[in-house]
Each structure stands twice: as C-alpha cells, then as structure tokens.
Structure 1
Amino acid sequence: MKIVKRIVLIALSIVLAICLGIYIYFQTKAPQYEGEQSLAGLSNETKVYFDDYGVPHIYAQNQKDALRALGYVHAQDRLWQMELMRRIAPGRLSELFGVKALENDKFFAGIGIDENSAQAVAALDKNSEAYQLAQAYIDGVNHYMEVGKTPVEFDLIGVEKTPFTLKDMYNIFGFMSFSFAMAQKTDPLLTEIRDEWGMDYLTDFGLDGALAKTRLKSYKGKANDYAAISKSITELLENSPVPPFIGSNSWVIGAEKTKNNKVIFANDPHIMFSQPGTWYEAHISCPGYEMYGYYLAGTPFPLLGHNREYAYGLTMFENDDLDFFQEENHPQNAMQYKTASGYADYVIRTKTIKVKDTADVALTIQSTQHGPVMNGLLKGLKAKNPVTMSWIYTQHANHILEAVYGLSHAKNLDDFYQKVGLVHAPGLNVMYGDAKNNIAWITSGKLYRMPEGVNPNFILDGTNGKDDQRTFLPFEENPYAINPNWHYVYSANNQPEPINGYLYPGYYLPQDRAKRIQSLLATKSNWDRSDVERMINDHTSLIYPDLVKDWIKCIPKNGLTATEKSALETLQQWEGTHAVYDIAPTIYNKWLYFYLKNTFQDELGEERFTLFLGTHIVKQMVAGQSNNPNSPWWDDVNTKGSKETRNQVMNRSFHEAIKALENQLGPDYTNWRWGKVHTLEHQHPLGKVAALRPLFNVGTYEVPGGNEVINNLLFYLAEDGKHNVGGGPSTRRIIDFSDVENSVSILPTGQSGVRSSPHYNDQAELFVKGRFRKMKLNRKEIEATSTLLVLKPKTN
C-alpha cells in the first residue's frame, strides 16, 4: 500500500512539476506593459500607457516616433497574427503548416496579389509622409522581432523570424480585399443552375435586384463543373487561419435627431470570429495629430477611427468587382487562347511554394487578358476549357496605403471624400460623422457598366469580345449621401438605389437588417448614446414573424400532436426576437432548414445544396420564393408522375422540423431555448488540435442574435441544428460627439493574442452580454488608470 501511495505521490509531483513548468514558460511570453525599453530609431522618449483593457495610449513628440512605438507594442501583442496575415496572399502558409495548407497557397500565389503589392511598393513616393510613417511602423515591428519575446506559436510550429516589409503590409490589405468579394462563392453555382435547369429556376433569386426592397438612398446635398470554383474558394476562406470579412452595420445620426444636438456614430463590421480577433485598438497623440484607431495586424493606419473632430468606419458595399470567364484554347496549340481578334499567347509565370517537411512545389500560372487561369489553382475544377478570374484589385493601380493614411489624416469632410476615391477595390460603404454636425455615407470602388445583355451573375464568355467590355465610371458617380434632409445615414450591406437609371450589380444582403435600422432611426428624434447601445445589440427581425405566419397557413390543423400545436402557437406569437431564452427562433430555423432542403436539394444535389446555403442569395430569396406557389423549385424531380406543391413541401418540412427538434433537444418544447443551439466559440488556429483547444480557444458561450438581425451573430444552417456562430460584430463602437471622451466600444475577446496576457479574453463576457467599455481620450484619466511603458531612444 505504501508503495502505491509513493507511486501516486511521485506521479502527482511530476504532473505538478510539468504544469508549473508550462505556467512559467507561458509567463515568460507575457507582453511588457510597464517599465522601460529602448527602441531603435526613436528621436525622443515616448510614453505608452496601457489602460485597464490593454489598449495602448501613445504620447510622442512626433508621428514617426508614435508609429514606431505603435509597431513595437502591436507586435508584442499580435506578432503571431501578423505572421499569419502576411503569409496568406503570397502563398506561404505551407512553410508553417505543411501540405494541408498547400491548396490555399496555390490559389493565393496564383491570383497575383503578391505581384500587385510589389508594383504598388515600387510606385510609392518614398518622400511622402504616408511612406515615412508606414516605414516607421514596420521598423517598430522589426525591432520587437529582434529583441522581444518569441510567441508560443512560433516555438510550437517552428517559425523562423524574418523582417517585415512594406510588401507584407500590402499583401495583408490584398487578402482583406479578396475576402470582401462575393462573386467567387456565387457566380459559378448560378451558372450551373442556369445551364442545368434554365433561367426559370433563377426567377426567384431576384438577380435583377427586384428583391432589394429596402435600398440605400443617395443624396447630393453634396454543364461544366463550375460549382467546384465556389466549393474550393469557400473552403479556402472558411478554413483559413485568418478570418474573412462578411458584412457589417453602421449608422450615423444627425444632430437634428439627437438629444444633445450632436452627431452620434455607430459601426460594427461583421467578420468571421477568430482568436485573436481582427482589430487591435491604439490611441496616438502627438503635436498636430490624434487618433483612436482600429488596426489590422501588420498595418500602420486604422481602417476604423475617431478623434475629437470626426469618426469613420466601414461596411461592405457588396458591389461586383470580380468576374469569371470561360476561355477557349487553340485547337492545335494549348499555349494559346481565343480572343475576339484571334488567338493570343498565355502569359506564363512560375512560383515555388515551400512546404514544411517535404519537397518544394513548383507552380506554373497561366494568365489571359482577363486574369489567371483557375484550373490547377483550385482543387476539383474539372471544366474542359480554362476558367479565368478577373478582379479589379489586381488590374488597377493600388493606392491603399495613401487611402488609409488619408482617411486617418483627413482635414475635413471634402478631404475625406476625396481619399475614399483612392480605393478601387474592395467596394466599401465608408461612414462619416464629425463635430461640425456633418454626416455622410460614401461608397468606394471602381464601378463600371457592362454591355446590355451581359449578366455578371454568371461565368462570362471570354472569347466574344463583348462580355469583357466595361465602361468605368468616375468616382463622383458612386452612390453617396452627404447631410441628407432625413438626418441620418446607414448601411447594412443592402443595395443602393439606381444612380442615373443604373442599378449597380452586386451580392447585396436582404432588407432585414436595413429595414429594422431604418424603422428605428426614422421614428425617433431624441437619440442618446444609451439608446444606440441598445440598438446595436437589437436582435428583432421585422421579416421573420410575418414570413412564418404565411408558412403556417400551409399546415392543416387536424392531426397535429400536442408539441406541434404548441410550436405553431409559439411561432404565431413570435415578435421576431432572438434572446437566449426565446423558443421561436429555434423552431423557425429548423423549419427553414427543412423547407430549403426539401425544395432545393433534389435539383442541386447534396454538395451544391450545402454551397447554396452559404451564399447571400439564399438569404435574399427565401421570403419571395417560399410564398410563390408557382415556383418551379417545389416539384421534386426525383418523384416521377407527380408534382409537389408549396403547401405539401412546407407541411412536410414543418413535421420533419418538429421531429428533429424532439430528437435533438427532447420532447418538452419549453426546453428548446435559442441559447442551447446558438453558441459562440472563438477559435485560435492551434485550437483545431483537440489537446490545445481549451488552452487557446475562448468560449463556448450561449449568445442571442442570429442571421440578419442587427446583432448579426451569424451561422450556417445544418441538419444537426447546432447553430455554431461563425461570425459577427468584430467590434461594436459608438462615438457621441456631445461627449467624445465617454464614447464606448467592445472587442469580442480581448486586445492581446498572447495567451498569458491578462487581456487575452477579458472582454469576452462583456461582448456576449452586449456591454461596453470606454474608449479613453482624456490624458489625466488615462495616466491615473493605466500602467506606463517608457520607450527610450536606443543609444549605441
């Protein structure tokens, strides 16, 4: 017995020693939030105050010192994230993760972001302030790489440190821009539906914009396997260690509609969740410049920001800036392709992809006048002829550095408007409000008209000389509203009204969020910050309750079980809320899934149906198609000799939904709470390894909200009914110009990407509860409540 006890004690001692060793190891990686540190290149001592949520407030004598300090502190909290971000666009993830990242690398190495970045850097004015400040930021990052702590992830994976460059920064912006594009998920699938089933099957999809009933108003007060493309690119983006952008809300309320007669600005960009999150907050103050900004990893200027003079933010425009073309090879020479004026030679380039623990991969990329050939870059693409991708971002001069510098250094509204025009891609709704009571919605993007009869929702003909003709429009014709007489502007990724009679094509989201935002803003004229805080957390749909009442008319009242009767009664009384204790959204989404499955899967097949569920179009068309008794989709093509009707499909889907919920959550429908099935976990790239998941991931949490409500905690429908939240507000941010120093924000997890930092997940509980924290601007308050890191010029 004594021997057994001794063995147990020894074993426990070993376990404790290992745990203690791991704890000490992680603590050695913690960021330095106080004390002193030398920083090469500084001209003057610079003070960095870290507030109670780890936000650095940088006080410097000039902007170069401030940006150098920003690069340093940004790197100590997010170096691992920076490393991942810079590797995606040039195709260098395989160096870290091996062959499982190869498909991702082949695609991104092939589409030309890296080459475009090199051209943009070469064209920069090296004497411009934007260039000088960006280089100072990169110098700060690199100094931390030299003298700072190595992230745990670098040790676990074996990352070799190499200096950051301006090209890395451009590549990060390039990946961000690609993740905004929606055509890659939609056009190939729609082309297959058209070719296989005919245009009648696409009537319900509203490709002409007919389903966009709540539109943004401008105001001048000033048979091929095409679906493999959708599947491959969707998988690349969703499995990427860096999250793509997916949507967003923003609104700016004019002084005429606020209690204190000053502008109130709100923004919550929607991005797929990850750990660490997308944004890094930092406040810079130096003579002549101040900005509280939100930064992408590895970038020197904020995409979201505010100071005492103005605030700005963004949502996705969702315009179409990416097209696919079906090319045709020369019948006797595979090195040539057909054009309207004869055959032309492919442009050939080669790249080498280094793959961890195995041989390098040589990649040969062919390009036509339209862009790179996707065959060979995308797994599963079996089209007989080459399919190319044409993307505005890589086809025009890249001024993204000047643009983001300009947004954060604007002198006034007119100057800000001009800087938005420098962004050719991606298309953005850029929102603006200022202390002088100006408000604005301005769209970025190089917009164009196509010839009549050319539909960019499909894969286009690369040989006829017509489908690729574009008339580019001047930036001044982009939709915008500046100081409109209705005294507010907003965006929820919905379609703008026609400009000069032209309805801009795109991949807009349905009217749901837009209608709710507009209904709230239009009917109230005494807004204050607390009202906006409640609004940005709102989870009520104005669409779903009426929609489900129409569905209920399809259900015969005889023969229902007690649970089915109770479920119908719950839906009848539903006001569209998505609180964690609500039952109706659980029933609705299960019914929605089975209705979609029973309506579309017979034509599309299982794989394409899953792709269909991940497109914006499925959200756009549900309300119209589900209430159209003449839709061709109702008929099950697998049942010969009979033709199914809307009522039959909706009734069958309801009964299947209730049965599935009983199996999933039990027979007592009162236990079907929304929070049980709608949950959020923030996943770190290493959290995909089961043993590391509890160490690096944050959550799981029951959360309110849902698809296409203002609190857009979105998920993909699946038969198992587990609505795991994939994305949502990457920050919720409210700036009240009547009290700028008490403006508020929240991040989904925390400021730091370092596991041993106290700011790794210290905002996660606040986020899921819809709460906020202050974005501090008052120096006396900051000094009194913060730790101080003094950065001193490095002496030789």
Structure 2
Amino acid sequence: MKTLFKLLAVSLLTLFLALLLAAALGYGYARSKLPQRDGELFLRGLTAPVQVRWDERGVPHIQAQNETDLYRALGFLHAQDRLFQMELMRRLAKGELAEILGPKLLETDKLFRTLGLRTQAEVRVRAINPRHPSWPVLQAYLDGINEFQETRPLPLEFEILGIHNPLPYSPEDTLAVTGYLAYSFAAALRTEPVLTFVRDRLGPDHLRIFDVDWNPLGVLSPQAQLLGQARPDDGKATRGAALAPPSPSALSDADWRTLARVGEVSQQAMELAGVPLLEGSNAWALSGRRTASGKPMLAGDPHIAFSLPAVWWEAHLSVPASANTPGFELYGHFQALSPYALLGHNGKFGWSLTMFQNDDMDLVALRPNPANSRQVWYRGLWVDLGTRQEVIEVKGGEPEALQIRQSPYGPIINQVYADTLGGDASATPVALWWTLYEAENPIIEAFHELNRADTLAKARQASSKLHVPGLNIVWANAAGDIGWWAAAKLVQRPAGVNPSFILDSAQGQAEKPGYYRFADNPQEENPARGYIVSGNQQPLPRSGVPVYGYYNNAERARRLDFVLSNKREGWTVADSQALQLDEQSRYAARILGPLLPLLRAAAEQSEENTLEQKVLVNQLAEWDGRHEAGSITATVFNQFVYELARAALADELGPALFNNLLRTRAIDAALPRLAADVNSPWWDDRGTPYEQETRADTVALAWEAALAHLVKLHGQSAINRWAWSSNHQLTHNHPLGQVKPLNLLFNVGPYPVSGGRELPNNLNHGVGPAPWSVHHGPSTRRVIDFAAPGQAQGISPVGQSGVLFDRHYKDQAVDYVLGRYQTMHLDADDVRKSTRSILILQPDE
C-alpha cells in the first residue's frame, strides 16, 4: 500500500511538474510575441532614422524627418500592437470570418458578401486621385503594416486560429473597413422592417408611439400608382404596358421572417466577431468667453461597443519644419487600417466626432415579374437582375456557395437566408439602396485634410468631403473659433416619402432626384450662445432641408445642453470631465410620470410584500434618475422598463421583431410615448382574446414581473444585491474569449459600473432583464483646453496594446471605471519626462 501511495504521489508530482513546465513554456512563447519598445529595428524604405519614445501608457511619440517615413513607422508600430484586430476587421468587411472562426460565422459572412464592401472598395480605389497627398501616406502606412507582418512574430491569436500566411494589406482593405464603419452606423436593417410591420400589419394606432408620419396607403398598397417613363429597349428590359406589375400585395409571413433574420444577423455580426459597433457619442466645444482660461475647450467621448483590444490606438506624430516642409504634429486616436486619426488635437486645433445618424440606407420592395423570376419592375420596364457567385470557405466544413442578386436599387438583401422563406415562391425581393454605393465619398482625402485643419475654412472644407458615414465634426482651435458640421451626403427623396419604412419601388418611392448641397447641411460656426453640443439628437438645419435619420432619444443631449447653458462662464477641464461622467437625465421621469399612480395602485393591491412595494414605488417617485453605483431604484426602474416593453409589445410583434426592436433607437422614443398614451392598443394582450387589458392591467403585470425577476435573481432579503453596480457590469471581451476557458485568459473584467442607458456617462446595457452586461459606452474620454493643449486629458477603457501579457493590455481598465483621466503628452519636455523606453527605427539599406 505504501508503494502504491508513493507511486501515486510521484505520478501526481510528475503531472504537476509537466503542467507547470507546459504553462511556463506557453507563457514564454506568448511573451516572445510582445511588442519591442526599445533598442533598434531596421525597416525597409526608410530614408532616415525614426525615433519612438514610449510613455507610461504605452503611447508611441513618433518623430520622423519626413511624412513618408512617419507613416511607414506608424503602420509598423500600429501592427505591432493591433495586427490581430486589423486581420479581424478586414475579414469581417470582406466576409471571410468563417474561414478562421468556423460555421457560426457563416451567416455573418453571407451578409457582408451581400453588402459587397470589398467590391465597392475596389471601385473606390480605382477612382482615387493618386496626386492627392493622402495617397502616398496610405501606401506608406500599409507598407509598414506589411513589413511587420512579414518580418516579426505573428500574434498568438494567429497561431490559435491557424492563420499562417496572411495576405498583404492593401488600400482596398482600408476602404472595405471604412465601409464596415459606415455600415455599423446604419440602423435601417433593424428598424425599417419593424416599423413597416407595425404600420402594415397592426395599423396607425399602433404606429403612433413611434412618432413617425403615418402613410395611409402603406408601402405596398393596392392603390399604388406606377411612376416613371418607358425607355428604349436595351436588350435587358421588356417594355411593359401590358406587362405592368400586378397590384402590390402585403409582405408575406416569410418576408417578415427573413427580414427579421437580416436584422438579427446584422447585430450578431459584431457580437460574434468582437468588432466594435459605433452607437452614439457626446461632444461639445466652448468658446473662450465661457472658459476659465479664456481659450476654447473641446470635449468628446464617442460611444462605441466595448471590445478587446480597445477601439482606439493612440499615437503622437511629429515631423520638424524645414526648408522643404512646414512640419506636422498631431496627437491622434487611430482605428485599425487607417493612417489618419479619426480624433485628434495639437497645440493649434482639435476635433471630436459624434454619429450624425442620418438615414443613408433604404430598404426597397421590388416587383418581380410573375412570368420571369429573374426580372423586376424598374421605371416602367421589366429589367434583368444581375447575379454574382461567391464561395465562402468554412473552417471545419465544406465551402458554401452563395448567389447574390443585384437590382437597380442595390443587392437583394432579404434572400440571403433563403431557408427562412420556407419555400414561399411569392416572396417579395427587398433590395438595399445605400449612399455608400452611389456617392463619390473621398473619405481618405477628407481625413487627411481634417488632420491638418487648423482654421474654420479648412475644417469646413474637409468635412464637406465626408459623404458616408454621416458624422458630426465638433471642432475648436486656439485662435478662438469653434465649429460644427453635420458631414454627410444628404439624399433627396420624392415628396411625401418617409424613409423610415420599406419603400415601394413600383410607386417611385425609391427614386433619388439627387443630393442636397453641403452648405444646406446642419452646421454652426462661432454661435452667439458660446457653445456647441452634439449628443446624437436630430439637428434642425437652418436651410430647412429634411434630415431623416435614426436619432437617439433626445434626453441625453438635453441634459448636456442644460448643464452647458446654465454655467455661463468659468468652465474648467474638471467641469467638462464631470459632465462626461454625469449619470442623470429626465428619461426615467418621462416614463414614470404617467405611471406612478398605477404603480401605487399595483403595490396596494399586491398580496405579497405590500409595505416593501410601497417603499420601492415611493423611491421611484422621488428618484432624480441618477444611476449611481449603490442605487437600488435604478435597478428596479430598468427591470420594470424591460417588463413593460415585453408585456405591451411582444405579443403583437413576435419574438424576432420584438428582439430587433429592443436593439434599435426607436424603442427609446416609443416607451415614454407609450407610457403617456392611456388609449394605446398596445396595452391589450392578444393572448387573451376574450379580455381587453388596460394600461393599468399591463403596468401591474410588468411591475409584478420585475419584482419577481429580481427576487429570483438575488433573493428578497438580500436587498443590497439589488444595487445598480451589482447588476450592471462591464467586461471587455476578446473575440477568442467567447470560447471557454479562453475567456479567463483573454477577457478583462467584469467590473461593476455606474452610468447607464442614454445618460451622459452612456454605459449602455440595452433594454433587457437583469443582470445587465454593458455593451457600449465612451470609447475614450477626452478634454482639451487650448490654453494648455499639452496637458489635455484622456483615457482608454482598457489599454493601448492588443497583445496578451503586455503590460499595456489592460493597464487603464480600473482608472476608466473609476472615472479617472491621464495626460495625453504633447509638449516636448513632457514627452521626455514621461518616456519609459526609446526605440530607434533605422533604414534597412
């Protein structure tokens, strides 16, 4: 027996040592992939040495003798920290994720192959002006990325996923990723099917809560009149007075299923791939007469889905002035595969971004030829659909063939997932029209110029070249100017057409007479009130041009405007930081106000815990809407809002459309209007056909369900577990962290956080049941006082580096949660003092 125990002990010790050795070898292997931040490296194509100083946050301060060397070094260093992020974003945009991540990404790839971002990028590259200075900058940056990929160890993620021979990066990749960013702004694929279903299946009384103009004819009304003139036969169209399409019919159940599936996949694409989705943003600029320093102040915090690596990679670029160049300096926030800062500042000027959220996508219902399924009705003729074949490689499976059909209005989007049609031969093809497919969109030129726009005129000119996606550029300079331009190519539509719904091509609703002038876009320069604020609210252009869009609920912007307008002078950096971290708005009051008497009645009538329910209702009545860490009221309110939405809306919409609605901005506008409408038909439960439920009935049901859920989750006696931060948490998820146990290695968090949905501190969890995972929020927080731009303050949600085990992988995560800021070093003396290591990039001769 002793011998047996000895053998067992030896075996266990051997196993332990083997595991320890394997862990040590794995750790050592992973550390061999760490970025090099000191010593020397040799780069092809450099004409002179480039010095890189790394500060305490891992931000590189790059000094080169010319811009070509500067951007080649930028590409190399960006890839050193973020090559896997670059690879993932390229593959998402091109529809090539299933090749490395397996069948679960197949539907995502089908969607992005149908969108055709890579094909569109190829067209745009051919149209680029090679004489514009932006072109050699892009090429130098990509050369730097490719040299890193060819000469340095590939990231650990490449090894895990079996990516051994990645393709070189090209300008087409950069523009395809830019197309993805434009797609991620758009809400049409999730919103338009839901609103159209409500209008056409449920009726105008149900549509009323969504605050859209009611079109009594509907998009597919039998009274539709055909518009457009016949044109000469071009060999691909059939003249058709006698072959005019039949009277349009309503979308079928199969149509609604497939449109709902497109909406689901459009959301899941980002969640499964771990690639950030752009959601909202705050930005403001204050004139010098409102600040304590007497100089303008700029603040911004773009709201983007959290991810790991973080969205932004920071770098300080500089080229000294010489006889041949005026010099260049910029502290920038960069996204993968772009050499141009999307956010930036220097000693002279700076800018931030918010999403304009204008509607630049239309879903268009087509009329198929009953005698020829390969034709649709277009401007008085039957025209042939184009087709292209795609083959999607699938890791661990057989390649998947995909046929994509192209209409005159764009790709047919709803037949990507043919299985949802259930063999319905009468299905209506729905095309996607997108400004990205039509506009010139010189976005590379635009950001090259914006990175150098130190005057109002230069910033205005650069903004005019941003066509897709729509962006609000909020800008300020040290000379005393502030400005805002809603940058987008705003499309003209026929009179009476509401693009919030699926458009009927046979009625001419999808025709586009042209675009409005940039001068007609919403914009302001040096307004008399002394400040500019942008919080994704619908802007009001002085020109009167209609600005359709999917805007956020206005309460966040109203809160920002209230605070900015009431403090008329003396603004400091600390004041702007406090506003970025503000956790209050009147949104909760708008929902609760009409419902408090009903909640009190529900608490009185409840047979269980009546006294405690009264206390909770009283707390809701007295609550100012603050989502502080210890607030129990915030938890109760958010659970109740979800239960109210589910009880009122889910029975009419069904699971798929209801879940899609919860992911749209339309739900935030709808719920306060629903709460205030005592006669809304949504209050009736269609599951009880012999009863007519009232608002009071549904509110009582939602209240009981909210409390029951929280009691089940935490127990009734442990009321401290109902605190907001115990139920509202942030985890930075790495794409590989979705597979256990890799989540323990790659993910960072969870962290209990305050803030909440559509508050200035917009740590947004979405409408759903507790506990809530924060899925998007401030992707950085920046405040720049142009009296001391070298002391500008900022923070990253997690860290600079995307390389596991690097000291900058997660070194800012705790500071971010605690609302702390760190200096973005710009002044030469400060850069030297903050230097932790120096890397010299030498020409490889």
Alignment correspondent of 1:237: 270
CA distance in structure 2 between the aligned counterparts of 1:276 and 1:90, rounded to whole angstroms: 20
CA distance in structure 2 between the aligned counterparts of 1:91 and 1:730, rounded to whole angstroms: 25
The partner residue of 1:397 within 434, 440, 463 is 440
**1:617 to partner: Cα distance:** 0.6
RMSD, matched Cα = 1.6
Q: TM-score, normalised by structure 2?
A: 0.90
Alignment correspondent of 2:205: 200
Residues 613-635 of structure 1: per-residue CA shift (max 9 Å, x gap): 11111111211211111212111
Q: Does 1:313 align with 2:352?
A: yes
CA contact 2:354–2:535 (8 Å) conserved in 1: yes
CA distance in structure 1 between the aligned counterparts of 2:158 and 2:273, rounded to whole angstroms: 18
Deviates more, 1:359-368 or 1:13-22: 359-368
**1:369 to partner: Cα distance:** 1.1
Alignment-mate amino acid for residue 19 of structure 2: V
CA contact 2:274–2:733 (8 Å) conserved in 1: no
Alignment-mate amino acid for residue 194 of structure 1: R
Q: How does 1:331-370 map to 2 (within 5 A)?
A: 331-370=370-409
CA distance in structure 2 between the aligned counterparts of 1:748 and 1:335, rounded to whole angstroms: 50
Q: Does 1:118 align with 2:122?
A: yes
CA distance in structure 2 between the aligned counterparts of 1:284 and 1:500, rounded to whole angstroms: 39
Q: How does 1:738-749 map to 2 (within 5 A)?
A: 738-749=787-798
CA contact 1:510–1:620 (8 Å) conserved in 2: yes
Structure 1 residue ranges without an equivalent (≥5): 210-222
**1:349 to partner: Cα distance:** 2.2
CA distance in structure 2 between the aligned counterparts of 1:150 and 1:536, rounded to whole angstroms: 38
Q: How does 1:775-786 map to 2 (within 5 A)?
A: 775-786=824-835
**1:498 to partner: Cα distance:** 4.8
Q: How does 1:782-793 map to 2 (within 5 A)?
A: 782-786=831-835, 787-793=837-843
The partner residue of 2:335 within 280, 296, 299 is 296
Q: Does 1:767 align with 2:816?
A: yes
**1:381 to partner: Cα distance:** 5.0
The partner residue of 2:745 within 695, 714, 718 is 695
Alignment-mate amino acid for residue 99 of structure 2: E
Alignment correspondent of 2:660: 611
Partner secondary structure for residue 626 of structure 1: helix
CA distance in structure 1 between the aligned counterparts of 2:843 and 2:415, rounded to whole angstroms: 51
Partner secondary structure for residue 304 of structure 2: strand
CA distance in structure 2 between the aligned counterparts of 1:232 and 1:45, rounded to whole angstroms: 47
* Identical counterparts, % of pairs: 36
**1:411 to partner: Cα distance:** 4.3
**1:191 to partner: Cα distance:** 1.1
Alignment-mate amino acid for residue 484 of structure 1: P
Residues 738-795 of structure 1: per-residue CA shift (max 9 Å, x gap): 1111111111110000002110000000111111111001222222322100000001
CA distance in structure 2 between the aligned counterparts of 1:380 and 1:231, rounded to whole angstroms: 15
Alignment correspondent of 2:220: none
**1:379 to partner: Cα distance:** 6.0
The partner residue of 2:690 within 632, 635, 641 is 641
Deviates more, 1:693-702 or 1:367-376: 367-376
CA contact 1:244–1:272 (8 Å) conserved in 2: yes
Alignment-mate amino acid for residue 746 of structure 2: F
CA distance in structure 1 between the aligned counterparts of 2:783 and 2:692, rounded to whole angstroms: 53
Partner secondary structure for residue 508 of structure 1: coil
Deviates more, 1:734-743 or 1:607-616: 607-616
**1:713 to partner: Cα distance:** 0.7
**1:551 to partner: Cα distance:** 1.8
CA distance in structure 1 between the aligned counterparts of 2:832 and 2:671, rounded to whole angstroms: 53
**1:523 to partner: Cα distance:** 0.5
Alignment correspondent of 2:604: 558
Partner secondary structure for residue 335 of structure 1: strand
The partner residue of 1:163 within 147, 162, 168 is 168
Partner secondary structure for residue 391 of structure 2: strand
CA contact 1:375–1:381 (8 Å) conserved in 2: no
CA contact 1:259–1:527 (8 Å) conserved in 2: yes
CA distance in structure 1 between the aligned counterparts of 2:497 and 2:420, rounded to whole angstroms: 24
Q: How does 1:88-99 map to 2 (within 5 A)?
A: 88-99=92-103
Q: Does 1:377 align with 2:421?
A: no
**1:102 to partner: Cα distance:** 1.7
Partner secondary structure for residue 294 of structure 1: strand
- Residues 129 and 471 (structure 1), Cα distance of their counterparts in 2 relative to 1, 3 Å cut: closer
Alignment-mate amino acid for residue 173 of structure 1: T
Residues 88-119 of structure 1: per-residue CA shift (max 9 Å, x gap): 22211122123222211121112221122111
Alignment-mate amino acid for residue 265 of structure 2: S
The partner residue of 1:541 within 547, 571, 585 is 585
Q: TM-score, normalised by structure 1?
A: 0.96
The partner residue of 2:785 within 700, 718, 736 is 736
Alignment correspondent of 1:217: none
Q: Does 1:190 align with 2:195?
A: yes
CA distance in structure 2 between the aligned counterparts of 1:128 and 1:243, rounded to whole angstroms: 30
**1:208 to partner: Cα distance:** 4.3
The partner residue of 1:68 within 67, 72, 78 is 72
- Residues 584 and 162 (structure 1), Cα distance of their counterparts in 2 relative to 1, 3 Å cut: same
Deviates more, 1:43-52 or 1:566-575: 566-575
CA distance in structure 2 between the aligned counterparts of 1:208 and 1:429, rounded to whole angstroms: 26
CA contact 1:232–1:378 (8 Å) conserved in 2: no
CA distance in structure 2 between the aligned counterparts of 1:265 and 1:711, rounded to whole angstroms: 17
**1:415 to partner: Cα distance:** 1.2
Partner secondary structure for residue 620 of structure 2: helix
CA contact 1:337–1:346 (8 Å) conserved in 2: yes
Alignment correspondent of 1:597: 646
Partner secondary structure for residue 693 of structure 2: coil
CA contact 2:285–2:296 (8 Å) conserved in 1: yes
Q: Does 1:259 align with 2:292?
A: yes
CA contact 2:298–2:350 (8 Å) conserved in 1: yes
Deviates more, 1:458-467 or 1:543-552: 543-552
Alignment correspondent of 2:573: 529
Partner secondary structure for residue 690 of structure 2: coil
Structure 2 residue ranges without an equivalent (≥5): 215-250, 321-326
**1:380 to partner: Cα distance:** 5.6
- Residues 398 and 354 (structure 1), Cα distance of their counterparts in 2 relative to 1, 3 Å cut: farther
Residues 242-275 of structure 1: per-residue CA shift (max 9 Å, x gap): 1211111111111111111111111111111110
CA contact 1:37–1:792 (8 Å) conserved in 2: yes
Residues 663-707 of structure 1: per-residue CA shift (max 9 Å, x gap): 212213343100111001010000011110010001010001000
Q: Does 1:671 align with 2:724?
A: no
**1:503 to partner: Cα distance:** 3.7
Alignment correspondent of 2:560: 517
Aligned length: 781
Q: Does 1:180 align with 2:185?
A: yes
Residues 206-250 of structure 1: per-residue CA shift (max 9 Å, x gap): 1249xxxxxxxxxxxxx4313333223223233333121111111
Alignment-mate amino acid for residue 585 of structure 2: S
CA contact 2:374–2:385 (8 Å) conserved in 1: yes
Alignment correspondent of 2:226: none
Deviates more, 1:301-310 or 1:778-787: 778-787
CA contact 1:232–1:379 (8 Å) conserved in 2: no
Partner secondary structure for residue 717 of structure 1: coil
CA distance in structure 2 between the aligned counterparts of 1:237 and 1:2, rounded to whole angstroms: 54
CA distance in structure 2 between the aligned counterparts of 1:630 and 1:704, rounded to whole angstroms: 35
CA distance in structure 2 between the aligned counterparts of 1:229 and 1:101, rounded to whole angstroms: 14
Q: Does 1:434 align with 2:477?
A: yes
CA distance in structure 2 between the aligned counterparts of 1:774 and 1:380, rounded to whole angstroms: 53
CA distance in structure 2 between the aligned counterparts of 1:247 and 1:501, rounded to whole angstroms: 24
Residues 270-324 of structure 1: per-residue CA shift (max 9 Å, x gap): 1111100111100001121000111111111111100111111111111100001
